[in-house]
A and B are shown apart, each in its own frame.
Chain A
Amino acid sequence: MDISFALTGKGYVILASDTTAARSIVKMKVDEDKIKVLSPHLLMAYSGEPGDTVQFAEYIERNIRLYQIRNTYALRPPSAASWIRRTLADSLRSRKPYAVNLLIGGYDTSTHQPHLYWVDYLGTMSEVPFAAHGYGAYFALSLLDREDGLMSGSSYHDPEAPLEEGLKTLRRCLDEVAKRLVVTPEKYKVKVVDKDGVREIEI
């Protein structure tokens, strides 16, 4: 089962996704990158039905790129997310719907705001401060929900936290999953998007 997390902070969005590609009970690959870079300031983590995922992600990737070539500038994160959601919602009522869940993180260079969207295979979309898909959601969301101040100086989620602190919060989520989930992924790929664009971070 795929696990992905994402959270926002002061001027950035972090996305993390496990790197296993599995068929049934067998791990086929342990270094699969499941976060696509859609444009200079836009990331998309995808999970779900094997086959659908890559096919859908590449379709989105190429269409977002096409828009950028035609219009010289890329779609802003809210518009890109809305278009991706519509694609999934239309697909849902087609003969063979894509079964793909997404986390879309981006930095809007015209308003200087980070945006994170939780999207599921039905085309449900919500802008959120933090999000997760897969079994990790059951552990991480409750962890991230906890308000700061109950333990002073602790780094539960804070939308105004600097990157260092955001990564520490992410680390807590990964540790919690490692501790409590029966089948734990061994490796995660982590990507960040902020005003300087997209980059990968070792964790």
Chain B
Amino acid sequence: MARRYDSRTTIFSPEGRLYQIEYAMEAISHAGSVLGVLSKDGVVLAAEKKVTGKLLDMSGSKEGGYGGSGEKIFLLNSNVVAGVAGITADANSLVNYARQAAQRHLYMYNEDIPVELLAQRLCDLKQGYTQYGGLRPFGVSLLYAGYDPHYQFQLYHSDPSGNYSGWKATCIGANNGTATSLLKQEYKEDISVEDAIELVLRTMSKTMDSTTLGSEKLEFATLTLDANKQPKAKIYKPAEIDALLQKHGLAKKDEDTDMASA
């Protein structure tokens, strides 16, 4: 019975549901998780990379293109970084759309696009695919970590239906339930960015499927203010991620590497 309402994205089922949208969200809950924490002086993002293999040629992404984009964390504009969970191909298309929207705003108003406005722009696009027939919705959820002078640091989440919401700390993708309940326990209102980094890494290490954290499984970014009070996004390079994990005592244990080499 349900199949009759599955084939099209724009048709309600008798229970008043849009199955394709729900399937898209289901796809995301299997994707590598992305975690974000908002603090008073910065925002922190971390993302889990699912597919890694020694044979995959990563030399292109090592150099870093526009803001050193990796697989899951992208610089959308000088004041916004985003983490994506879901179908990577769809995400690339959305990231490109977001970057263009941000540049158009800069051109029109000579200011960095306000974070919520950028989230809205993407949600308008995503919502369109729940209504206009014949097309598949974007199978992507995003976390936006940004700064603008209106509301200072912000963290937003948007899903395939085109809904978006602001958060103090949240998680999307696999194990997001466990991660959000952990964050709920640990989050403090006046958390500093340093503590937020630690909170993100600790939560990540507890919820990720793999037992060890390392740069081949993790992407990491922060958004803070520089000396001139301008937003500064930092997407960590693999070596910097490993150094960070080392600092917080979450890196691979030495005996593990010994075992591997033995």
Contacts and interface: CB of A to CB of B under 8 A. Distances in A.
Q: Do chains A and B touch in the complex (CB under 8 A)?
A: yes
A142 interface: no
A70 B179 CA distance: 34
Interface residues of B, number: 9
A167 B149 CA distance: 30
B109 A83 contact: yes
A173 interface: no
Interface in B93-114: 108-111, 114
A78 B111 contact: yes
Contacts of A83: 108-110
A71 interface: yes
B149 A79 contact: no
Contacts of B149: 76, 108, 110-111
B135 interface: no
Contacts of B116: 71
B247 interface: no
Contact of A82 (B111, B114, B117, B150): B111
B108 A86 contact: yes
Interface residues of A, number: 12
B150 A78 contact: no
Contacts of A79: 109-111
A73 B114 CA distance: 11
Contact of B111 (A71, A73, A76, A86): A76
Contact of B109 (A82, A108, A110, A111): A82
A16 B150 CA distance: 29
B110 A71 contact: no
Contacts, number: 25
Chain B interface, >50% SS class: loop
Contacts of B110: 78-79, 82-83
A54 to B, nearest CB: 24
Contacts of A86: 108
Interface in A98-143: 108, 110-111
Nearest to A74: B150
A110 B150 contact: yes
A78 B110 CA distance: 8
A83 B106 CA distance: 10
A110 to B, nearest CB: 4
B121 to A, nearest CB: 11
A3 interface: no
A110 B150 CA distance: 6
A111 B110 CA distance: 16
B104 to A, nearest CB: 12
A83 B110 CA distance: 8
Contacts of B111: 76, 78-79, 82
Contacts of B114: 71, 73
A111 B149 CA distance: 8
A75 interface: yes
Contact of B117 (A71, A76, A78): A71
Nearest to A87: B108
Contacts of B150: 73, 110
A110 B149 CA distance: 6
Given A79-B111, A82-B111, A110-B149, 10 more contacts: A71-B114, A73-B114, A76-B111, A76-B149, A78-B111, A79-B110, A82-B108, A83-B109, A108-B149, A110-B150
Interface of B: 108-111, 114, 116-117, 149-150
8 contacts: A71-B117, A78-B110, A78-B111, A82-B108, A82-B111, A83-B110, A108-B149, A110-B149
